[in-house]
Amino acid sequence: MSLPTTRTARLATWSSNLTYSTLPDPAIQRTKDLFLDWLGCTIAGRSHPAVTAIVKFVKAMGPTSGKSELVDGQLEFTTSAAFAALVNGAASHVVEQDDLHNGSITHPATVIFPAALAVAQDVGADGKDFITACVVGYEVGCRVGAYFGKSHYENFHSTATAGTLGVAAAAAHLLKLNPEETLSAIGTAGTQAAGLWQFLLDASHSKQVHTGKACSDGIFAAYTARDGLLGTKDILEGPRGMGNALVPGKTKPEAIDGDLGADFEVLRSSFKWHASCRHTHPSVDALLALMGKHAVAFGDIESVLVPTYQAALNVLGMSGTCETVHQSKFSMGFVLAVAAKKGQAMITDFTEEDLKDSQLREFQGRVRMVLDEEIEAAFPARWMGRVIVKTKDGRELEERVGFAKGDPEVTLTRDELETKMRSLARYGGITDGNKVEALIQRAWNLENETDLHGFVF
């Protein structure tokens, strides 16, 4: 088989050929930051009913002993790579604290790490192999997401669609597939890729299905490519491929292979500091900055106008009255209410009690979003925030932020990441602080690990 001269083939070739020794240190360090952040998210989300249902499926359909581990060690079984990734991928996207790659509007960690960890455990990869595969997974998943662009994101959960291809590339790297086989894996991944936003409208559990299945589907694509199943060679740009079928006329082809290797997408992902939908973060930051600067308290605020970008209007407009804790994190009004009242919007700040808080609910009703053409034009390259507050004493105040806390330009420090990790572990019910500290240290020394088993709480 010879390689075609398509953009997708160039991306597959680059992915297959990437080696640890050529990675710049910042990419290595950031990958470790992202991995630790993902571990915390996974343990924090493990008790969600969708995860529980998927665990039952794994017990019914999969082996209950194998080389790959569930991060939730209390489940006390191991399984195969596809099933471990299915569970860990579902768990890590529950608490809305996982990273967000701005340019592609995807959450790469929740698909790349669970899949790469499960495959690394399956094939006995070391820390350097794992880091390299994760860099590949981020690169492919984020570039595909950027190729699809924000138009795709209107209906599709891009983390799942683009993510499946990223998973396939990461798994292919760990399986040491050559460029042709990697291209096959990407093709087979793309023709399985799915995930629609419809679930947001009724607070159902598809979000966990999307990330879990992106993991297992991408792993399926890589293993079967190794074993001779031919994937189509131009799944992105071909006439019946993903671009034409899913984003007709609105793709960005140069995103697929432009400046390959010149920079790394792992360096362009944002950590979440607030526990809500990422589309609320720039506005939360702007509101908190405004309240600090002008000494405005929660009770002083009459109304908040939030000029923002279209994707925020689309996604945040779907949660209706936000009857569940999960939906409440997707309500701009409710999230700003929480932030204004509590001075923060961390994971412990969204509870069933809060849903019944009439002060929060009234504030929620006084928040309105509108489209801001300037912010829309900059999105998704930049996620800017703006709020206009009317106070009860008649003032009109305005604040803007150019980035959200956790964006690549203002990334989290390792101290902040450790703080967030401890908080997520506590939220996940982990009481053994020593174990958490030991896992933190393993993450910081990931490149020296010879065996990737034991990342289990």
Q: Which of 20, 126, 230, 426 binds a second copy (CB under 8 A)?
A: 230
Select from 106-114, 228-236, 257-265, 334-342 the region that touches a second copy (CB under 8 A).
228-236
218: three-class secondary structure by DSSP: helix
Site residues for a second copy, 19-78, by CB under 8 A, read: 49-50, 52-54, 56-57, 60-63
Q: Which of 83, 113, 271, 383 binds a second copy (CB under 8 A)?
A: 83
Let me know: does 134 contact 266? Beta carbons within 8 Å. Answer: yes
Select from 165-173, 190-198, 261-269, 332-340 the region that touches a second copy (CB under 8 A).
190-198
**Nearest to a second copy of 219, 439 (CB atom):** 219
Q: How far is the CB of 3 from a second copy (least distance, A)?
A: 12
Task: Give pairs for 241-247: CB < 8 Å, separation 24+.
Answer: 241/190, 242/148, 242/161, 242/190, 242/193, 243/147, 243/148, 246/148, 246/152, 246/156, 246/161, 247/148, 247/149, 247/151, 247/152
- Strand 100-101 relative to strand 68-69, pairing: unpaired
Instruction: Give the length of the chain.
Output: 457
Tokens of 69: 């581990």
Distance CA 137, CA 162 (A): 10
Q: How far is the CB of 231 from a second copy (least distance, A)?
A: 6
Distance CA 340, CA 349 (A): 11
Residue 414 in contact with a second copy, rule: CB under 8 A: no
Select from 126-134, 234-242, 346-354, 367-375 the region that touches a second copy (CB under 8 A).
234-242
Number of residues that bind a second copy (CB under 8 A): 64
Residue 223 in contact with a second copy, rule: CB under 8 A: yes
Residue 111 in contact with a second copy, rule: CB under 8 A: no
Q: How far is the CB of 188 from a second copy (least distance, A)?
A: 6
Residue 320 in contact with a second copy, rule: CB under 8 A: no
Q: How far is the CB of 4 from a second copy (least distance, A)?
A: 8
Q: Which of 70, 81, 290, 421 binds a second copy (CB under 8 A)?
A: 81
Let me know: does 398 contact 389? Beta carbons within 8 Å. Answer: yes
Residue 438 in contact with a second copy, rule: CB under 8 A: no
- With DSSP H G I counted as helix, E B as strand and the rest as coil, what are the percentages for the chain, rounded to 5? 60, 10, 30
Residue 198 in contact with a second copy, rule: CB under 8 A: yes
**Nearest to a second copy of 128, 226 (CB atom):** 226
The three-state DSSP-derived secondary structure of 276-344 is CCHHHHHHHHHHHHHHHHHCCCHHHEEEEEEEECHHHHHHHCCCCCCCCHHHHCCCHHHHHHHHHHHCC
Residue 204 in contact with a second copy, rule: CB under 8 A: yes
Q: How far is the CB of 159 from a second copy (least distance, A)?
A: 13
How far is CA 62 from each of CA 58, 113, 226, 315, 341, rounded to the nearest angstrom? 5, 21, 21, 35, 46
Residue 188 in contact with a second copy, rule: CB under 8 A: yes
Q: Which of 26, 124, 176, 202 binds a second copy (CB under 8 A)?
A: 202
Q: Which of 38, 138, 197, 271 binds a second copy (CB under 8 A)?
A: 197
Distance CA 259, CA 267 (A): 14
Which has the closest alpha carbon to 6: 173, 235, 171, 189? 235
The label of the residue with tokens 């794992």 reads: 130
- Strand 68-69 relative to strand 78-79, pairing: antiparallel
Q: How far is the CB of 149 from a second copy (least distance, A)?
A: 15
Residue 178 in contact with a second copy, rule: CB under 8 A: no
Distance CA 163, CA 371 (A): 28
- Strand 301-308 relative to strand 367-371, pairing: parallel
**Nearest to a second copy of 95, 315 (CB atom):** 315
Under DSSP, the state recorded for 194 is: -
Contact track, a second copy, 121-160, x by CB under 8 A: ---------------------------------xxx----
Select from 142-150, 212-220, 263-271, 289-297 the region that touches a second copy (CB under 8 A).
212-220
Q: Which of 25, 227, 259, 353 binds a second copy (CB under 8 A)?
A: 227
Q: Which of 140, 193, 287, 345 binds a second copy (CB under 8 A)?
A: 193
Can you spell out the DSSP letters for 382-410? ---EEEEEEETTS-EEEEEESS-TTSGGG
**Nearest to a second copy of 255, 315 (CB atom):** 315
Can you spell out the DSSP letters for 17-39? H--GGGS-HHHHHHHHHHHHHHH
Distance between start and end Cα atoms, the chain: 45
- Strand 269-270 relative to strand 100-101, pairing: antiparallel
**Nearest to a second copy of 198, 351 (CB atom):** 198
Select from 126-134, 232-240, 273-281, 349-357 the region that touches a second copy (CB under 8 A).
232-240
| Interacting residues toward a second copy by CB under 8 A | 49-50, 52-54, 56-57, 60-63, 80-83, 154-156, 184, 187-188, 190-206, 208-210, 213, 217, 219-220, 223-224, 227-235, 238-242, 244-245, 318
